Amino acid sequence: MPRRRKPAEDRKAEIIDACLALADRLGPGRMTTNHVAQAVGVTQAAIFRHFPSKQALWLAVAESVSARLAKAWERAVASDAPAEERLKALLRAQFEQISATPALPAILFSRELNIDNPELRETFRLRLMGFQAHIIALLEEMRRTGGLRDDLVPADAAVHLTSLVQGLAIRWTLGARSFCLPEEGLRLLDTLLALMRSPKGRD
């Protein structure tokens, strides 16, 4: 009996997952479509039937990761909890997504993203702007309700918080993932928030 072919969408998802695993194991720059084909158990021609070029494959990877990130962020901020709790939930969600997709820091700093594939770079840039917009909105709410100093500029503070995420993700990667990323991230977030709080809120 002939082997049943997987539906195209299932095969595409399998290819994207293989790309992320290989990008983590080999590095984005060393990963080839041949590696992907071997990991999935198909020919290179089969890969190109679903994705006409390596750039198109990377773009699909970016769109898949971006969709996962956006869903995690929306879940984190969509509650009636105080703004500070939602901010912590948002950053926890980001750290958990990086832990679940450990290739992400390497992809963000890869040649593929920064030089070879402008569409890939733009996809991630827009998604990260969305993450920063969530942070700014929550910081503005915290300042309005008296939780943060009056002279704090939410857009500037958001840069510090996104830098915390990016810098810690790099340290986690270079340190062979030897610590729990969400736990360490939230510990450092508490330190930053303590510096941002209004004197009233510290009493």
pTM: predicted TM-score of the whole model, two decimal places:
0.87
Mean pLDDT, 10 residues at a time, over the chain (203 residues)? 64 94 90 94 93 90 90 94 97 96 84 72 86 96 92 95 94 92 97 87 49
pLDDT for the residue numbered 118: 79
pLDDT at 76: 96
- Within 10 Å of residue 117's Cβ, how many Cβ atoms? 21
Instruction: Quote the CA–CA distance of 60 and 23 in Å, as a whole number.
Output: 14
CA angle 115, 61, 110 (to 5 degrees): 30
C-beta contacts of 67-72 below 8 A and 24+ residues apart: 68/97, 68/101, 69/94, 69/97, 69/127, 69/131, 70/127, 70/130, 72/96, 72/97
pLDDT for the residue 55: 87
Domains and their CATH numbers in the chain: 62-202 (1.10.357.10)
Confidence at residue 17, expressed as pLDDT on a 0 to 100 scale = 95
